[in-house]
């Protein structure tokens, strides 16, 4: 006697076979799933970098374990920004004090009156 099956019956048959997996295998699969979930990538937007990323100035692919790199880069950018501001302020003040001294000593160059 020939046994007949439809190709669409193969899926349910295979499903039935997965229900027969032994407990040891199921435990290992469960552990594998739990381990994988610990490494799930979740995007955390660092405000400074978000703008750069939106404008295509940086392209980053960050696995979950390297999120600290983002914060490090953000901190570095902030330090550079503050250093720039402080340097500009100091240079500006220095120029002003030189002009003040020149006015007091009557050494102001003629160029200063041109504008």
Partner 1 sequence: MSTREQLSDFLAGIERRAYKHAMFAVRDEHVALDIVQDAMLKLAERYGDKPAEEYPMLFHRILQNTILDHFRRQKVRSFWLSLFSSYTPQHSEEEFDPLDVLEDKGNPSQPAQPDAALSQAQILAVIEKGLSHLPARQREAFLLRYWEQLDTAEAAAAMGCSEGSVKTHCSRATHTLAAMLKEKGIDLS
Binding region for partner 1 (CB under 8 A): 1-8, 10-11, 13-19, 21, 25-26, 28-30, 32-33, 35-43, 63-65
CB-nearer residue toward partner 1: 27 or 93: 27
Contact status, residue 108 vs residue 102, Cβ threshold 8 Å = yes
Q: Which token pair is 73?
A: 């880069």
Q: How far is the CB of 30 from partner 1 (least distance, A)?
A: 8
CB-nearer residue toward partner 1: 14 or 110: 14
Q: How far is the CB of 90 from partner 1 (least distance, A)?
A: 44
Check residue 56 and give left, alpha or beta (phi > 0: left; psi -120 to 50: alpha): left
Q: In sequence order, which residues have a C-beta less than 8 Å from that of residue 53 and are 6 or more positions away?
A: 59, 60
CB-nearer residue toward partner 1: 30 or 96: 30
């Amino acid at each position: 006697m020939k046994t007949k099956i439809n190709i669409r019956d193969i899926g349910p048959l295979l499903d039935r076979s997965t229900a027969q997996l032994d407990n040891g295998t199921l435990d290992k699969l469960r552990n594998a799933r739990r381990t994988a979930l610990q490494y799930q990538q979740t995007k955390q937007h660092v405000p400074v970098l978000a703008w750069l990323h939106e404008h295509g100035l940086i392209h980053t692919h960050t696995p979950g374990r390297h999120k600290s790199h983002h914060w490090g880069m953000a901190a570095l950018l902030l330090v550079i920004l503050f250093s720039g501001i402080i340097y500009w302020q100091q240079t500006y003040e220095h120029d002003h004090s030189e002009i003040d001294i020149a006015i007091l000593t009557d050494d102001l160059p003629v160029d200063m009156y041109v504008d």
